[in-house]
Amino acid sequence: MDPSEVKPLVILQEIDQEIIRVKRRLKKIAEEKEDLKEEISKLKAELESVKNRYEELKKKRREIRESIEEWERKLEDTERKIGMVKKDVEYKALLREKSKLEDLILKSSYELDDLEKDLKSAEEELRSVEAKVTKRIKELEEELLDLEEEERAALNRIEELEKRRERQKEEVDPEMLKLYEESKEKLGAKLVAKVEDGICSGCGMRIPDVLFSKLMREKTVETCPTCGRYIYYKL
Ligand SMILES: [Zn+2]
């Protein structure tokens, strides 16, 4: 067979191989985007949980402060009553009440001290996690933007290749095109393969020396004994 017969098909194959490469890259981009999005949401969840812990401690502090204020009001009230009662029984009851309230206030004040310490470390943790997470999310979002840009470029490239493919198809001998399309699943986008250093680039196997010499000498198109592809040395 004459090399000029397969040349248009070789060009079509190259277009198809590039389409395959770009599509493979697109798949990879989609996976990478998913990974980035997952990492971003994990980081956001991490920050959220540290924030929640801090907010919970603040809420608890507010509650304790309110309780203390309430008990202090009651204590004042009780002390006023103590100054006014006449009966001994009532007086003793009020004293018990006063001492109970003082106990509560004291215990809660200790609790409040501990809480302040926890709050301080929670706040420090929040600041540091916030700084770290914000920085990392920014980096990841930039990576995501880059990938999206690459994705758009790849989609445009495929569109352009498909157009070129349609035009190139017209150049290929119909019989050969049919054979090519039919063999695609088995041979990939490679019905015609170049032979380099005696190796068929289709299957990677060495072809007999006699055949290789013939290809070089006569510049013909032959068939690879291993994979059955059309092989050539130079077009
Ligand atoms: Zn082969």
**What CATH number did the domain enclosing 143 receive?**
1.10.287.1490
Write the CB contacts of 53 (distance below 8 Å, at least 6 apart in sequence): 122
Please state, rounded to an integer, the average pLDDT across all residues of the chain.
96
**Could you count the other beta carbons within 10 Å of the beta carbon of residue 164?**
16
Measured CA to CA, the distance from residue 88 to residue 101 in angstroms comes to 20
Nearest alpha-carbon partner for 104 in 68, 132, 138:
68
% of residues, the chain, pLDDT over 90: 96
From the CA of 196, how far away is ligand 1's center (Å)? 11
From the CA of 230, how far away is ligand 1's center (Å)? 8
Whether the Cβ atoms of residue 165 and residue 15 lie closer than 8 Å to each other: yes
Nearest alpha-carbon partner for 10 in 173, 226, 227, 218:
173
Counted domains in the chain: 1
How do residues 162-209 score in pLDDT, each as one tens digit?
A: 999 999 999 999 999 999 999 999 999 999 999 999 999 999 999 999
Please determine, for residue 3, whether its predicted confidence score (pLDDT) is greater than 90: no
From the CA of 229, how far away is ligand 1's center (Å)? 6
From the CA of 184, how far away is ligand 1's center (Å)? 14
Could you list the residue range(s) of the whole structural domain that residue 98 is in?
Answer: 20-168
From the CA of 193, how far away is ligand 1's center (Å)? 7
Instruction: Categorize the per-residue pLDDT at 78 as very low, low, confident or very high, splitting at 50, 70 and 90.
Output: very high
Q: What is the pLDDT of residue 27?
A: 98
Q: What is the pLDDT of residue 200?
A: 97
From the CA of 174, how far away is ligand 1's center (Å)? 23
Q: Average pLDDT of 37-50?
A: 97
From the CA of 161, how far away is ligand 1's center (Å)? 27
Q: What is the pLDDT of residue 2?
A: 83
Whether the Cβ atoms of residue 32 and residue 147 lie closer than 8 Å to each other: yes
Nearest alpha-carbon partner for 74 in 40, 110, 98:
98
Q: Is the residue at 102 inside a domain?
A: yes
Q: What is the pLDDT of residue 91?
A: 94
Q: Is the residue at 113 inside a domain?
A: yes
From the CA of 9, how far away is ligand 1's center (Å)? 17
From the CA of 27, how far away is ligand 1's center (Å)? 29
From the CA of 218, how far away is ligand 1's center (Å)? 19
From the CA of 167, how far away is ligand 1's center (Å)? 28
From the CA of 191, how far away is ligand 1's center (Å)? 10
Instruction: Categorize the per-residue pLDDT at 235 as very low, low, confident or very high, splitting at 50, 70 and 90.
Output: confident
Q: DSSP class of residue 235?
A: -
Residue that has been written with the tokens 């310490």 in this structure: 117
Q: Is the residue at 197 inside a domain?
A: no
Torsion-angle region of 151 (φ positive above 0: left; ψ -120 to 50: alpha; else: beta)? alpha
From the CA of 200, how far away is ligand 1's center (Å)? 5
